[in-house]
Chain A
């Protein structure tokens, strides 16, 4: 029970700070669960992210469910998911009810001008850490960069990257 409450609190915090889309939570989950609480190892963490990313659905919710389940079973998954979802639900609800002009507020705009470049760094850092942890050799070194380039510049849907990578793995390992 204690752990579930902790999981809920941790993901509530993360949910409240996940600005600029779900990926921003990667750094925070890693910091809280791997580095502070040491509930799972870094290797396990990247393995989980790989599985979560391969599946469809809301990335942040998938991540919360998986981390929660791994640490404390079904109750843990529920606690983490509620924690991750509740802040965004209520904040958007309040904005939809009362201040739609929120986005035109000049102070808010200034604050977010500062936050956005920071969020870019918070997504870039785990991406590089994950590349480092993937044990690439000279034959596989190009994969993350080619995948990123295809999505970023050629607007290839991530689903194709995942399918090609999975097929490639199955075929090459079979030979």
Chain B
């Protein structure tokens, strides 16, 4: 029975989650903490902290973690799969539709017109991440180092087109030795 709930809840989160990870967090918290009591608020905050430190989308991380705690390995697989299922179904139909209507002027215009707003969405994701916690709240000196890392990484990726994976590894190493 618990498996069915897991499947249902994460399918719902996958279906109604717009605009990427951070916008989904409150939706996940509502379901997992408030409605189903699968974890308390403190554990949820821990899962978020772990999600920030491990690769992958936050929603997938949370689904895997909650699924494992509620229903073991099978629970983890069910939750993660059901979270992705709406994406799979929707992309299947939307992609087929778009490929069939390729060159349709109305759709092309709509996509062109949406582009600036979507760029704004991504810009907001970067702005939302510019918090004290992400730039070290342990004093002005550490904060300065964080700002330098951010600016240097921006120059490296934007102008010099250096591979982002190299940048992340380098930033991690710098963090380990400097902080």
A, B bound = yes
Give the B-binding residues of A (Cβ under 8 A): 13, 15-24, 26-28, 31, 35, 46-47, 49-51, 53-62, 65-66, 69, 77, 81, 85, 87-89, 91-93, 95-97, 100, 102-103, 107-108, 110-131, 133-136, 140, 143-152, 157-159, 161-162, 164-166, 168-170, 173
Q: Are A114 and B88 in contact (CB under 8 A)?
A: no
Identify the closest chain A residue to B113 (Cβ): A169
Q: A61-B87, A161-B117 are in contact. List 12 more A-B contacts (CB 8 A).
A: A17-B165, A20-B129, A26-B122, A55-B94, A59-B20, A61-B84, A89-B80, A95-B50, A110-B176, A117-B147, A120-B129, A125-B157
The answer to the question of B53 belonging to the interface, with a C-beta cut-off of 8 Å to chain A, is yes
- Compute how far the CA of A91 lies from the CA of B44 in the bound complex, rounded to whole angstroms: 17
List residues of chain B with CB under 8 Å of any chain A CB. 14-23, 46, 49-61, 64-65, 68-69, 73, 76, 80, 83-84, 86-88, 90-91, 94-95, 98, 106, 109-130, 134-136, 142, 146-147, 149-151, 153-154, 157-158, 161, 163-165, 167-168, 170-176, 178-179
* B50, A102: Cβ atoms closer than 8 Å: yes
| A75 vs chain B, min Cβ distance (A) | 13
- Give Cα distance in the complex from A64 to B55, angstroms: 15
Q: Which residue of A lies closest to B156 (CB)?
A: A121
Taken together as a complex, chains A and B put the C-alpha atoms of A23 and B49 apart, in Å, by 17
> Nearest Cβ distance between residue A106 and chain B, in whole angstroms?
10
A117/B149 in contact, CB under 8 A: yes
Q: For B151, give the chain A residue with the smallest CB separation.
A: A121
Of the A-B pairs whose beta carbons lie under 8 Å apart in the complex, a sample of 24, sorted by A's number, is A18-B56, A21-B20, A31-B161, A55-B91, A57-B84, A59-B19, A66-B95, A87-B55, A88-B60, A112-B52, A116-B52, A116-B135, A118-B149, A118-B168, A121-B154, A123-B122, A125-B154, A127-B123, A130-B119, A130-B122, A144-B119, A152-B128, A159-B19, A165-B118
Within 8 Å CB of A65, what residues of B? Answer: 87-88, 91, 95
B115 and A110 within 8 A (CB): no
Contact A127:B126 (CB < 8 A) given known A50-B118, A54-B114, A89-B76: yes
**Residues in A whose Cβ lies below 8 Å from that of B61:** 88, 92
Pairs of residues from A and B, 7 with the lowest C-beta to C-beta distance, nearest first: A114-B175, A88-B56, A147-B120, A158-B19, A169-B113, A118-B171, A57-B87
Q: Which of chain B's residues has its CB closest to A22's CB?
A: B57
Task: Please give, as numbers and ranges, the residues of chain A lying within 8 Å of B154 by CB-CB distance.
Answer: 121, 124-125
What chain B residues lie within 8 Å of A148 (beta carbons)? 120-121, 123-124, 127
Known interface pairs A46-B115, A88-B55, A102-B53; A122-B87 also in contact (CB < 8 Å): no
Which residues in A have their C-beta under 8 angstroms from that of B119? 127, 130-131, 134, 144, 147
CA distance A128 to B23 in the complex (A): 21
Is there an interface contact between B150 and A120, defined as CB atoms closer than 8 Å?
A: yes
The residues of A that contact B84 with a CB separation of less than 8 Å are: 57-58, 61, 81, 85
Contacts of B54 in A (CB 8 A): 19, 88, 91-92, 95
